[in-house]
Amino acid sequence: AVVSLPVLLLGGESTVVGSPTVEGASVSAEVVGHGRGEKIHVYKFKAKSNYRRHTGHRQSYTEVKITGISAASGKKA
């Protein structure tokens, strides 16, 4: 799937900072895949009370490949 994303900052010969986005500029990206990160272990412990809790978390993510950046003036950045 091809995705179009807003541009917050555009660099090159001169840097353009948007408020909040740069008008007319866009980034096109292609979704490469979905995955899950490494497991993070969370361990709670309270001394002298036999209180122990263990849980884990794996963050989901989407991997994208940037295919093009178009500036407001039509130039490639």
What integer pLDDT is reported at residue 59 of this predicted model? 97
Q: Give the predicted TM-score (pTM) of the model.
A: 0.61
Q: How far apart are CA 11 and CA 14, in angstroms?
A: 6
Edge to edge, the sheet with strand 2-6 lists 2-6, 26-36, 60-70
DSSP state of 39: -
User: Which of 29, 36, 35, 40 shows the shortest CA–CA distance to 65?
Assistant: 29
The full set of domain ranges for the chain reads 2-70
What integer pLDDT is reported at residue 33 of this predicted model? 95
Mean pLDDT by 10 residues, the chain (77 residues): 81 83 86 96 97 98 92 57
What integer pLDDT is reported at residue 7 of this predicted model? 85
